[in-house]
Amino acid sequence: MRFKKKKKVSPTVYTEEICPSCGEKKKRNFDEGDYIYKIASNCKKCSKPTMISAIYGEYPIEKQKESQEL
């Protein structure tokens, strides 16, 4: 019997910004130095500063299916 080695798949890390004034949300790739409640870029809708509300990782969908099948 041969066993296949599981491939290690690392998640893609995202940062979510929210505008406290108008509620606009924006998802972007994580940048070094990001942290929760950090004042980030200006809102595209109302031009006021946004705040980082979440940092999280997502695994690619194809990779999730492959690892579940093994």
For 9-62, the pLDDT digits (tens) are 889 999 999 999 999 999 999 999 999 999 999 999 999 999 999 999 999 886
Cβ-contact 9, 67 below 8 angstroms:
yes
Give me the pLDDT at residue 1, please.
60
Tell me, what DSSP letter sits at residue 54?
E
Partnered with residue 13 across adjacent β-strands are: 57
Please name which of 41, 48, 46 lies closest in space to residue 17, comparing C-alpha atoms: 41
Residue 7 pLDDT exceeds 80: no
- What is the pTM (predicted TM-score) of this model? 0.71
